[in-house]
Amino acid sequence: MKRLAVALTAILALALFVSPAFAGKIDDIKKRGTLIAGVKDSQPPFGYVDEKTKQIVGFEIDIMKFLADKLGVKLDVKAVTSSTRIPMLTQGEVDIVAATMTHKKDREGQVDFSITYFMTGQRLLVKKGGPIKGVKDLASKKIGSVKGSTSEQNAKKAEPSATIVSFETYPEAFLALKQGKVEAVTTDEAILVGLKYSDDKPDAWDIVGDYISPEPYGFGLIENDSKFRDFVNISLMEMWESGEYKKVYDKWFGKDTKNYIPLTWTMELWP
Residues making contact with another protein (CB under 8 A): 82-83, 86-87, 90, 104, 106-107, 109-111, 144, 147-150, 152-153, 163, 165-168, 172, 175-176, 179-181, 222-224
Nearer to another protein, 154 or 249 (CB): 154
Q: Residues 84-110, buried b or exposed e (16+ Cβ, 10 A)?
A: bbbebbeeeebbbbbbbbbbeeeeeee
Residue 111: count other Cβ atoms within 10 Å of its Cβ. Answer: 18
Q: Which of 113, 115, 42, 55 has the alpha carbon at shortest distance from 82?
A: 42
Distance of CA 252 to the CA centre of its chain: 15
Q: Residues 208-245, buried b or exposed e (16+ Cβ, 10 A)?
A: bbeebbebbbbbbbbeebeebbebbbebbbebbeeeeb
Nearer to another protein, 181 or 258 (CB): 181
Q: CB neighbours of 233 closer than 8 A, spacing ≥ 6?
A: 114, 115, 270
Least spacing, CB of residue 81 vs another protein, in Å:
11
Least spacing, CB of residue 138 vs another protein, in Å:
14
Specify the DSSP class assigned to residue 178. Answer: H
- The residues pairing with 47 across neighbouring beta strands, listed in sequence order, are 43
Least spacing, CB of residue 100 vs another protein, in Å:
12
Nearer to another protein, 149 or 233 (CB): 149
Nearer to another protein, 82 or 259 (CB): 82
What is the spatial distance between Cα 183 and Cα 137, in angstroms, rounded to a whole number? 10
Nearer to another protein, 155 or 248 (CB): 155
Least spacing, CB of residue 187 vs another protein, in Å:
12
- The residues pairing with 112 across neighbouring beta strands, listed in sequence order, are 221
Least spacing, CB of residue 150 vs another protein, in Å:
6
Least spacing, CB of residue 113 vs another protein, in Å:
11
Q: CB neighbours of 83 closer than 8 A, spacing ≥ 6?
A: 148
Nearer to another protein, 72 or 87 (CB): 87
